[in-house]
């Protein structure tokens, strides 16, 4: 049945394609003429349009048998353009995607200068609606409504903009260019809808709250739902409940005792979130801790190159799924040569950790359908300052999972109180720095002679009688080419008392490396562009640069094939 459904979608796309849309029939031949470098660096199982610029994920939703993901899209080139459209892709399983016509394009006075980010909310009767930011003819950011032209169409190909747009204009204290990205709405016990819009108000980064009875007429609440001091303008706010006793997701409008709330905002190039409780009478998110400050101690979805994320509740499998935009880290001129820029992360399931102090993220189970050529081994001792190669898989397109036994706490060096910023620590003590326990982990997208390599690794410390794990993604030697951002990223992971192992999973897809530490308690995404990949194969190594031996408890590796519907070169 799945193969039949896929063929029907493919046939539909071919019959309805035209020269102005993202599924142009000339794309395949265009890519065949590109340089080898372009082909080698292009991800194969991450979602991206066939060409041109992509950024923020917009309005993920499940409707009539299909997952939909909209996204910011420039149909005229592979660099950012303020006059954005909504690209649109659909899937029956989150890994096989078909690119449809653009869903929203700038056409009206209320969005003539760009259709910017927004969300999809399902109204009673299974009716999806879009709230999105439009840049109007006066260069103001205003919030608009669009509805499907045909609710019986499972592909939601056509959308109609509401004639009464804009629904919401910048409130007092908010400049016209600091008011954007409406969230998915939720319904309170009083039957009224709520939505938040990101902005900067009186020098506070804010999630500005509005209420409505009919989803058309919106009333401003005096105070923001949550805010941050000295953070700058907030983008892409998100607000949703998570269960405290289950990994199952919750609908945005769920009300219950066994749940916490997540408040997220994108600013300063990162996606920060806080956990807390929601007071529906005061319309406030009350953080468990200090809230969102933009400091290195704030909780983040991802500590690497990952931004403008969006979640949605998968009503079929009862889970909450997260997507984030992964930008390029090469130059704009490189992107012009490639003809494309930007991808979406692997969709991740999100749930509350057992400690209830943070979220956990893990790639959706569907990605495992793409696995091939399983290689595994167990209980292998890795001596200090040694490495070995993992063979039998396609190293440039791979899913690799391994776990290490934790040593005795007495063997681990103490954490210096001055080491309070994990990114700085990873940068000053990179993969080739020798500690007592670590660095140990993976070298991916590596040349055979290791001249180019991306290291994803752990170092272990102790803080009193507790393990502290430093997780790093070291891009400092990822490429010998110039003009590429080779920032090294890092995160601290607090281990539980009962933990006996530390795990690492990395999904490598040519130029993107998504890594998940300690079963998803910390995530780091990187973009890498090694020069050797123009005409040579990549390699994978497991290494230990620490002075103490470590034991690899398990290692499982699979080649990852391209999902159906992906554009091939």
Measured distance CA(7)–CA(348) in Å, rounded = 26
For residue 296, what are the CA distances in angstroms to 272, 425, 428?
Answer: 10, 12, 16
Where are the chain's structural domains?
2-40+52-363, 371-560
φ, ψ for residue 7, nearest 5 deg: -65, -40
Active site residues: 56
pLDDT tens, 139-177?
A: 999 999 999 999 999 999 999 999 999 999 999 999 999
> Average pLDDT for residues 521-541, to the nearest whole number?
94
pLDDT tens, 54-88?
A: 999 999 999 999 999 999 999 999 999 999 999 99
Nearest to 386 by CA among 527, 545, 567, 539: 545
Asked whether the beta carbons of 203 and 226 are under 8 A apart, the reply is no
Measured distance CA(227)–CA(171) in Å, rounded = 16
Asked whether the beta carbons of 523 and 473 are under 8 A apart, the reply is no
> Average pLDDT for residues 199-226, to the nearest whole number?
97
Q: How confident is the model at residue 180 (pLDDT cuts 50, 70, 90)?
A: very high
Given a cut of 60, is residue 22 above it in pLDDT?
no
pLDDT, the chain, mean: 91
Higher pLDDT, 306 or 25: 306
Given a cut of 80, is residue 496 above it in pLDDT?
no
Query: Residue 28 has what pLDDT?
Result: 27
For residue 107, what are the CA distances in angstroms to 63, 85, 102, 104, 134?
Answer: 26, 10, 13, 9, 10
Query: Residue 40 has what pLDDT?
Result: 55
Query: Residue 26 has what pLDDT?
Result: 29
Given a cut of 90, is residue 209 above it in pLDDT?
yes
190 torsion bin: left (phi>0), alpha (psi -120 to 50), beta (else):
alpha
3-state DSSP assignment of residue 32 = helix
3-state DSSP assignment of residue 429 = coil
pLDDT tens, 324-336?
A: 999 999 999 999 9
Given a cut of 70, is residue 223 above it in pLDDT?
yes
Measured distance CA(347)–CA(96) in Å, rounded = 12
Q: How confident is the model at residue 1 (pLDDT cuts 50, 70, 90)?
A: very low
> Average pLDDT for residues 479-493, to the nearest whole number?
95
Given a cut of 70, is residue 2 above it in pLDDT?
no
53 forms beta bridges with 74, 341
φ, ψ for residue 525, nearest 5 deg: -110, 140
Query: Residue 373 has what pLDDT?
Result: 95
Q: What is the CA radius of gyration of the chain?
A: 23
Query: Residue 442 has what pLDDT?
Result: 98
Q: Which range is least confidently modeled, 36-40, 255-259, 520-524?
A: 36-40
Query: Residue 41 has what pLDDT?
Result: 77
> Average pLDDT for residues 230-245, to the nearest whole number?
97
Query: Residue 174 has what pLDDT?
Result: 97
Measured distance CA(83)–CA(159) in Å, rounded = 18
Entry pTM: 0.92
Asked whether the beta carbons of 325 and 307 are under 8 A apart, the reply is yes
Query: Residue 498 has what pLDDT?
Result: 78
Asked whether the beta carbons of 50 and 34 are under 8 A apart, the reply is no
Asked whether the beta carbons of 470 and 495 are under 8 A apart, the reply is no
Higher pLDDT, 499 or 386: 386
φ, ψ for residue 41, nearest 5 deg: -85, -5
Asked whether the beta carbons of 286 and 263 are under 8 A apart, the reply is no
> Average pLDDT for residues 320-349, to the nearest whole number?
96
Nearest to 210 by CA among 274, 167, 256: 167
Q: How confident is the model at residue 6 (pLDDT cuts 50, 70, 90)?
A: very low
Higher pLDDT, 32 or 171: 171
pLDDT tens, 356-409?
A: 999 999 999 999 999 999 999 999 999 999 999 999 999 999 999 999 999 998
What architecture (CATH level 2) is domain 371-560? Sandwich (2.60)
> Average pLDDT for residues 241-256, to the nearest whole number?
96
Query: Residue 207 has what pLDDT?
Result: 98
> Average pLDDT for residues 240-262, to the nearest whole number?
96
Q: Which CATH number fits domain 2-40+52-363: 3.40.50.2300, 3.40.50.12660, 2.115.10.20, 3.20.20.120?
A: 2.115.10.20
Measured distance CA(373)–CA(545) in Å, rounded = 29
Share of the chain above pLDDT 90, in %: 86
Asked whether the beta carbons of 264 and 322 are under 8 A apart, the reply is no
Given a cut of 60, is residue 3 above it in pLDDT?
no
Quick one: CA dihedral 97, 394, 343, 556, positive or negative? positive
464 torsion bin: left (phi>0), alpha (psi -120 to 50), beta (else):
left
């Amino acid at each position: 049945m799945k193969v039949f459904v896929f063929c029907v979608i493919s046939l539909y796309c071919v019959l309805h394609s035209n020269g102005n849309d993202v599924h142009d029939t000339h794309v395949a031949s265009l890519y065949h003429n590109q340089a080898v470098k372009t082909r080698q660096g292009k991800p194969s199982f991450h979602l991206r349009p066939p060409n041109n610029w992509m950024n923020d994920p917009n309005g993920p939703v499940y409707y009539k048998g299909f997952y939909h993901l909209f996204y910011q899209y420039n149909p005229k080139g592979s660099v950012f353009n303020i006059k954005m459209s909504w690209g649109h892709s659909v899937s029956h399983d989150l890994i096989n995607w078909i690119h449809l016509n653009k869903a929203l394009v700038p056409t009206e006075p209320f969005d003539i200068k760009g259709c910017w980010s927004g969300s999809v909310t399902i109204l009673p009767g299974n009716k999806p609606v879009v709230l999105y930011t439009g840049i109007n003819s006066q260069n103001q950011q205003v919030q608009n409504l669009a509805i499907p032209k045909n609710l019986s169409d499972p592909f939601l190909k056509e959308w109609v903009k509401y004639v009464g747009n804009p629904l919401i204009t910048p409130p007092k204290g908010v400049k016209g260019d600091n008011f954007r990205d409406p969230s998915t709405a939720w319904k309170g016990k009083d039957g009224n809808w709520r939505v938040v819009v990101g902005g900067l108000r009186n020098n506070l980064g804010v999630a500005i709250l509005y209420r409505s009875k009919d989803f058309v007429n919106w009333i401003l609440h005096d105070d923001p739902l949550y805010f941050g001091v000295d953070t700058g303008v907030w983008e892409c706010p998100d607000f949703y409940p998570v269960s405290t006793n289950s990994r199952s997701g919750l609908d945005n409008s769920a009300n219950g005792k066994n749940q916490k709330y997540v408040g997220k905002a994108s600013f300063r190039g990162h996606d920060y979130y806080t956990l807390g409780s929601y007071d529906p009478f005061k319309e406030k998110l009350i953080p468990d801790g200090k809230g969102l400050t933009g400091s290195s101690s704030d909780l983040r979805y991802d500590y690497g190159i990952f931004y403008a994320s969006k979640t949605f509740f998968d009503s079929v499998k009862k889970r909450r799924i997260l997507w984030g935009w992964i930008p390029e880290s090469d130059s704009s001129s490189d992107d012009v040569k490639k003809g494309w820029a930007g991808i979406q992360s692997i969709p991740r399931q999100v749930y509350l950790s057992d400690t209830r102090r943070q979220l956990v993220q893990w790639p959706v189970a569907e990605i495992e359908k793409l696995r091939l050529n399983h290689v595994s081994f167990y209980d292998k001792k890795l001596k200090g300052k040694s490495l070995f190669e993992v063979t039998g898989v396609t190293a440039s397109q791979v899913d690799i999972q391994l776990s290490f036994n934790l040593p005795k706490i007495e063997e681990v060096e103490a954490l210096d109180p001055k080491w309070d910023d994990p990114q700085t620590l990873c940068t000053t003590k990179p993969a080739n720095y020798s500690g007592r326990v670590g660095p140990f982990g993976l070298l991916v997208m590596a040349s055979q002679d290791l001249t180019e390599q991306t290291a994803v690794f752990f170092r272990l410390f102790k803080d009193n009688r507790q393990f502290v794990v430093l997780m790093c993604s070291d891009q400092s030697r990822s490429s010998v080419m110039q003009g590429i951002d080779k920032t090294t990223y890092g995160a601290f992971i607090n281990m539980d008392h009962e933990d006996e192992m530390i795990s690492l999973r990395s999904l490598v897809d040519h130029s993107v490396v998504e890594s998940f530490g300690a079963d998803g308690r910390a995530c780091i995404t990187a973009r890498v562009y090694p020069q050797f990949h123009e005409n040579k194969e990549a390699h994978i190594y497991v290494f230990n640069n620490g002075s103490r031996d470590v034991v690899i408890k398990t290692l499982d590796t699979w080649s990852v094939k391209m999902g159906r519907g992906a554009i091939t070169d």
